[in-house]
Amino acid sequence: MPVKRNGSMTRRKFLQLSAGASAAVAVGGPRILNALVPAGPKAEDAGVQKLFSVCDMCFNKCGLIARVEGGVVQKLDPNPKFLKSRGMLCARGNAGIKQLYDPDRLKYPLLRKGARGEGRWQRLTWDQALDYAAEKLQKIAAQYTRCGVLFMAGSDLQSRFVHRFAEVFGSYNVISHESNCLLSRNRAFLDTFGEVPYPDMLNCKYVIMAGANRFEALVTPDSIDMMTAMRRGCKLVVLDPRFTKTAALANEWHPIKPGTDMAFFLAIAHVIINEQLYDEKFIAEKTYGFDRLKTHVQAYTPEWAAAECEIAAKDIRRIARELAAVSPAAMVYPGRRSSDYENSTQIRRSFAIVNALLGNWDRPGGMTAARKVGLKSPGVEAPWYDDNPEERVDAGRVKMLFEEEGSFKLTRDAVIEGKPYPIKGWLTYKTNPMQTGANRRRTIEMINKLDFMMTVDITMSDTAWMADLVLPAPSYLERQDPASALQGSSACACVVSRDPVVPALFESRPMLEIVTGLAQRLNLGEFFDFTMEQYRRQQFEKLPGALAALEKDGVYYNHDKLYGVYEGKVFKTMSKKIELYNKRYADLGLDPMPVYRPPREVGQGKFRLVVGRDAYITQGSTTNNALLFELEPENTLWLHPVSAAKLSIRPDDRVEVASSVGKGKLKVRLTKEIRPDTVYMATGFGVLSRGLSNVYGKGACIAEVLEDYADKISGNMAMHETMVTVKKAHGS
Ligand SMILES: Nc1nc2c(c(=O)[nH]1)N[C@H]1C(S)=C(S)[C@@H](COP(=O)(O)OP(=O)(O)OC[C@H]3O[C@@H](n4cnc5c(=O)[nH]c(N)nc54)[C@H](O)[C@@H]3O)O[C@H]1N2
Ligand SMILES: Nc1nc2c(c(=O)[nH]1)N[C@H]1C(S)=C(S)[C@@H](COP(=O)(O)OP(=O)(O)OC[C@H]3O[C@@H](n4cnc5c(=O)[nH]c(N)nc54)[C@H](O)[C@@H]3O)O[C@H]1N2
Ligand code: SF4
Ligand SMILES: [Mo]
């Protein structure tokens, strides 16, 4: 029975399908992929097993219990013992079953035959694929040095093996997805508190959430704890140009003018300081640069800020007083994704500084420090290669790059320019920069500079679509993973791990096996001479009892104290205090305290395009999941009715949205849930890959339209700097 590809697939139909039918599926033409979904349960092994695992539909790692019947996963339930997720499994978590039994899964290694992105593939055996990849890597190393190969791994428990492989292979050009995500936030909090804190929302009494959408962009336990705290009387104030679900549930929503949050927070600091609403002892003992900050914020009055951010001065003043009244159990939520403006680090510094003024460090309801869990991370003594260049390819392009994470945007620039040295190979694992890196054409330009690109994924993502060699990975429900420490708030000083709940489907192979195969072919086998089991045993060496807890509860918790851990300790900053004034920034010629500069003008007849999450999509990658696709089959352009009227755009028209780098056509959604000067569209649509058979041909790709600016301090992508025109699309 052929799988129904484009109509709606109900949950019932899906279960029938996964439980019995066999299906044919095609990627880039029916001659290429033919595979079966698993056979249904046999009568003789009909017993139900309940197996622990950890969700991987996004990075949160919520605990789950898989119901397995006859070797088939029938349902995923939340693990009630799993404190971090507070016994929750979201819509995407539930849809994980469809990730496992997706007819669009990659099934065996594929080698590109036609032009890049043409979609013509040849099936290879694993030996052929690994021989091919090893030969290509060797060739690039010989011709361009080992740093001529770039490695990029997304958020995953096995990403560490990509890093290990890069290290022993000899390339320091490794990037994570983080420079498209949260590096400017991390930079800002690290450069204020000496570490990136975790918010204790559960015990907080007043939260200002700016540029974050916790009730749609789920972060556990923050999302759930925010709701619990609100039931206990915590006040939530949301600043967002869109009326998000978080805004809808908040006590107050302020549709702030995009890019002006710093003005708001400097004015909050102004009020707290001038009205002496801070804890004098805390400021004197724990902070550095208070007097300078006091002078600095004098010009930043609420009246001045109101003109910038379009939030009334009386509200700013009131919010500052309300916040201070319940401090230290009050916070400016640090946020998560901060890939938005060219000065995002400084914007988030203003968040951090207000937190410092509230004295909320290391106390209930405030910013808490990460807690060590005691898991070992086995290291490696990598060989040294004399002919390598001195530094990463993106080094020196901004002043405070994170060496470990790098910058996708700046690396891409360097690859295209061929400077300071050529990069000719690219290995991507569990990341989809064709959808999640702003300015898709630049990514294609980068790929066209390469001699060899290899992608390891579970489906034919847009990134895989552009690769030369595509290797199939097992999903999280089919593989054994190393343990991982989650070091967040009150709910998560814990260790998680994964074991397969069902055997791996098709010919998929986990990343450890892939890099081990490559290492063996490259005379580096000695660095990958262990099994996953042996690796994990090393991780647990200093944690007796943890394995038993994992077996019993699906998670191991460390119940060390959460507050007061900094008593008698110094902060890990240059001044050993919380840096209101950052000495290192001053030395580097950066603003040591955030200086407000108005955002780029939107321009006549234009709109600012902003990025943001919704509850049914993970970044750029779950839109093809049959269950989630049913909930969200295409994206739309959010446009305010007043703006639409000026452009003669009517409800349900198709529109063309265009920036200086690209354009897309999609349906419009006329809504007052967005400011008249701003537009929004969801990520993960307008795909190029015909291997994503549900979503192919649906909606428009935001990565095609987003211009690629970067945060000037950290190199984090800056995705909200894009101005677009909107017009009615032809033929609509
Ligand atoms: N336009 C736009 N761009 C964004 C964002 C946005 O909201 N809008 N968000 C930004 C943020 S915050 C982030 S964190 C980044 C994230 O950016 P990415 O790291 O690109 O994240 P995903 O889009 O989730 O891509 C994950 C890829 O891994 C594949 N995959 C899923 N499970 C497995 C598995 O088990 N094994 C393997 N090998 N592959 C798997 C998926 O098919 C997909 O191709 O994007 C950033 N860029
Ligand atoms: N359902 C779901 N949950 C997820 C993810 C997912 O993809 N889907 N991804 C996870 C990941 S990797 C991350 S990093 C987090 C991201 O979670 P968040 O950090 O909450 O990120 P976004 O959803 O991108 O929310 C950013 C919000 O900022 C608003 N905004 C735009 N410009 C401005 C501005 O100038 N000022 C202010 N104040 N607001 C502005 C946007 O409208 C948007 O609502 O979510 C995580 N949770
Ligand atoms: S928030 Fe949802 S998708 Fe993310 S790990 Fe948890 S259950 Fe899975
Ligand atoms: Mo992210």
pLDDT in tens, 60-115: 999 999 999 999 999 999 999 999 999 999 999 999 999 999 999 999 999 999 99
* Range(s) of the domain holding residue 18: 11-100
Q: Which pLDDT value is given to residue 731? A: 64
For residues 390-412, average pLDDT:
97
Mutate to test the pocket of ligand 2, among 213, 261, 309, 609 (most ligand atoms within 8 A of CB): 213
Count the alpha carbons within 13 Å of 253 in the hemisphere toward its beta carbon.
17
Closest by CA position to 459, among listed 102, 170, 209: 102
Ligand 3, atom 4: nearest CA belongs to which residue?
58
Question: Are 109 and 126 spatial neighbours (Cβ–Cβ below 8 Å)?
Answer: yes
The residue out of 531, 557, 583 marking a domain boundary is 557
- In this structure, what CATH number is given to the domain that contains residue 701? 2.40.40.20
Mutate to test the pocket of ligand 2, among 189, 613, 622, 706 (most ligand atoms within 8 A of CB): 613
Residues 401 and 543 in one domain: yes
Q: How far apart are CA 399 and CA 588, in angstroms?
A: 7
- In this structure, what CATH number is given to the domain that contains residue 94? 2.20.25.90
Indicate whether 592 belongs to any domain: no
Calculate how far, in angstroms, residue 150's C-alpha sits from the geometric centre of ligand 2. 28
Q: Which pLDDT value is given to residue 11? A: 33
Q: Which pLDDT value is given to residue 701? A: 98
Q: Which atom of ligand 1 is nearest to the CA of 461?
A: 44
Q: Which atom of ligand 1 is nearest to the CA of 337?
A: 12
Q: For the chain, what is the mean pLDDT? A: 93
Q: Which pLDDT value is given to residue 490? A: 73
Cα-based angle 280, 284, 289 (whole degrees, multiple of 5):
115
Indicate whether 237 belongs to any domain: yes
Domain count for the chain: 4
The fraction of the chain above a pLDDT of 70, given in percent, is 93
Residues 694 and 549 in one domain: no
Burial (0-12, 13-18, 19+ Cβ within 10 Å), 671 = middle
Is 60 exceeded by the pLDDT of residue 13?
Answer: no
Residues with CB under 6 A from ligand 1: 56, 154, 177, 180-181, 337, 339, 429-433, 435-436, 456-459, 461, 473, 475-476, 611, 613, 618-621, 683, 702-703, 706
Question: Are 351 and 212 spatial neighbours (Cβ–Cβ below 8 Å)?
Answer: no
Here the tokens at position 613 are 């999450």
pTM, to two decimals: 0.94
Residues 149 and 41 in one domain: no
Q: Which pLDDT value is given to residue 46? A: 58
Indicate whether 94 belongs to any domain: yes
Residues with CB under 6 A from ligand 3: 55, 57-58, 60-62, 85, 89-90, 92-93, 218, 220
Indicate whether 255 belongs to any domain: yes
Mutate to test the pocket of ligand 2, among 84, 240, 262, 685 (most ligand atoms within 8 A of CB): 240
Residues 135 and 275 in one domain: no
Residues 285 and 208 in one domain: yes
Residues 304 and 358 in one domain: yes
Residues 19 and 94 in one domain: yes
* Residues with C-beta atoms within 5 A of ion ligand 4: 181, 337
Residues 72 and 173 in one domain: no
Indicate whether 117 belongs to any domain: no
Smallest-distance ligand from the CA of 513: 1
Q: Which pLDDT value is given to residue 33? A: 30
Cα-based angle 382, 399, 708 (whole degrees, multiple of 5):
95
- In this structure, what CATH number is given to the domain that contains residue 149? 3.40.50.740
Indicate whether 444 belongs to any domain: yes
Q: Which atom of ligand 2 is nearest to the CA of 619?
A: 7
Residues 457 and 329 in one domain: no
pLDDT in tens, 31-49: 223 333 344 444 445 589 9
pLDDT in tens, 260-308: 999 999 999 999 999 999 999 999 999 999 999 999 999 999 999 999 9
Tell me the torsion sign for CA atoms 717, 718, 720, 726. Answer: negative
Q: Which pLDDT value is given to residue 488? A: 77
Q: How far apart are CA 23 and CA 17, in angstroms?
A: 8
pLDDT in tens, 425-434: 999 999 999 9
For residues 510-535, average pLDDT:
98
Q: Which pLDDT value is given to residue 182? A: 97
Residues 210 and 171 in one domain: no
Q: Which pLDDT value is given to residue 24? A: 29
Calculate how far, in angstroms, residue 20's C-alpha sits from the geometric centre of ligand 3. 28
Strand partners for 122: 111
Residues with CB under 6 A from ligand 2: 58-59, 181-182, 210-214, 216-219, 239-242, 244, 256, 258-259, 261, 335-337, 340, 610-613, 615, 617-619, 720
pLDDT in tens, 471-498: 999 999 999 999 999 987 777 889 999 9
- In this structure, what CATH number is given to the domain that contains residue 358? 3.40.228.10
Residues 90 and 131 in one domain: no
Indicate whether 651 belongs to any domain: yes
The residue out of 369, 402, 435 marking a domain boundary is 369
What is the spatial order of strands in the sheet that 556-557 belongs to?
481-487, 493-498, 556-557
Q: Which atom of ligand 1 is nearest to the CA of 58?
A: 24
Q: Which pLDDT value is given to residue 29? A: 33
Question: Are 300 and 273 spatial neighbours (Cβ–Cβ below 8 Å)?
Answer: no
pLDDT in tens, 580-601: 999 999 999 999 999 999 999 9
For residues 372-383, average pLDDT:
91
Mutate to test the pocket of ligand 1, among 619, 721, 722 (most ligand atoms within 8 A of CB): 619
Confidence of residue 561 (pLDDT cuts 50, 70, 90): confident
Confidence of residue 5 (pLDDT cuts 50, 70, 90): very low
Residues 278 and 362 in one domain: yes
Indicate whether 579 belongs to any domain: no
Q: How far apart are CA 237 and CA 450, in angstroms?
A: 47
Q: Which pLDDT value is given to residue 372? A: 84
Measured in degrees and rounded to the nearest 5, phi and psi for residue 314 equal -70, -30
